Amino acid sequence: MAKNIKTKELTEWNYAPAPESKSIANIAPRYELFIDGGFVKPSSGRYFSTINPATEEKLSEIAEANENDVDKAVKAARKAFTIWSKIPAKERAKYLYRIARMIQERTREFAVIETLDGGKPIKESRDFDVPLAANHFFYYAGWADKLEYAFPGKNPKPLGVAGQIIPWNFPLLMAAWKIAPALACGNTVVLKPAETTSLTALKLAELFRDADLPAGVVNIVTGAGKTGAAIVNHPGIDKIAFTGSTQVGKIIQKAIAGTNKKATLELGGKAANIIFEDAPIDQAVEGVINGIFFNQGHVCCAGSRLFVQESVFSEVIKKLKHRMKSLQVGNPLDKNTDVGAINSKEQYQTICKYLEYGVKDGAEIFFHSCELPKKGYWVRPTLFLNVAQSHRIAQEEIFGPVLAVQTFRTIAEGLEKANNTPFGLSAGVWTDKGSKIFNLTTKLRAGVVWANTYNKFDPTSPFGGYKESGFGREGGLHGLMPYLTF
């Protein structure tokens, strides 16, 4: 009987399927725009499809907003600002707290929809995205009536109407990051989610309506780049908050130059994860895995460049390859899945091009040899060895599950290589020497530096970058400042 057992079954773990039920997700066949407290049809009468990237199945139709719709949303937000900004701060806090509790109550539904629409594993949606989104509303509910204590002697006042544009990698979380501090400070909002992942933002709109949030305080207009451009260029917008690519960030900066609009831009990244010879290697390898393969690498602060001190290089790579082989790739709704589907066909094609660039430039490729589903957009967890600083995979943001590995000998060399990038969003340091950590954190040109961990987020901690990774901070006390005038 043992002769009939395949070798693969003896050497690999075989997990029994543990799929989350889709029945909890109440997805309407069509979604309208959320303006002035209600859902309204788009002026253009046009809609676009949103699909499940794991199956390529259509989930729903989303309204496409044009300039007229954006104008309606901005006017509704301006009208609501005269009321919302004058509501006692402790009352605004109650709304934020109510929203946070309602997100918690609907955690499972939000998690399933986020996974269906975006392709990320359900355990990430369930354990990271949704809880952290709720926590941001809780946190800023606490600040709403304490702004004078946060900024003593400065008499903080709300700006007005905030135009907010969010990406497709963390749709619900990015909405919470931006909406919560804006409302806490007394501003009103016009939000545009990414066209490929609009569903959780629209479900959030339902929640705002059910929470009796005053009409016009939050307006959600859906669409692609033209809709975002209409928000950026609208004269009734007082502040732009954008998370997305560096290329689009530069376009926004040019568009608002010469205006009085304030802005925060959280853009691309090419983070360095640095492992020293005195690091806890097993812990560091796990941190590297989390740093690059979390959310299929669709993370602006992903640790996509790994620098390993030469003396431990062989050990690190051996353990890294072994750990990669244990990653479960497949159905995002399965609770065993570690790496889900690529968010869209367009992003899938982009990642595939960079894989070709890496091989063409002479880097050595290694990837997880797992079997991929026949439908959907999938990329195996991949790493490149023998990478040079000049390689495109070492310089440009891939935004996928692709790791570029380099070596270094001295601290100075490691720092020079880590900082040799136009980006400056995040970095990771792995060592058992506290003095080395503090030395590196003062010299790494990155907005966030993790020590002996990676991808740890908290609403109380500010997040943002330097150089071409943008400016301004979101989260923490610092996250209030862009929404206030003093």
Return the active site residues: 266, 300
Helices (H), 159-210: 171-184, 199-210
First and final C-alpha spacing in the chain:
78
- Contact of 191 with 164, CB cutoff 8 Å: yes
DSSP element (H, E) containing 165: strand 161-165
Contact 192, 167 (CB under 8 A): no
Q: Are 251 and 133 in contact (CB under 8 A)?
A: no
Rg of the chain over all Cα atoms, to the nearest angstrom: 23
Q: Name the residue with tokens 């301004």.
A: 472
Element (H, E) at 162: strand 161-165
The strand pair at 161-165 and 239-243 is best described as parallel
Q: Strand pairing partners for 385?
A: 364
Q: Is 76 left (phi over 0), alpha (psi -120 to 50) or beta?
A: alpha
Q: Tokens 């044009």 — which residue?
A: 66
Q: Tokens at residue 290, please?
A: 């989390």
- List the 382-385 sheet strands across, edge first: 364-367, 382-385, 402-408, 305-309, 272-275, 426-430, 448-451
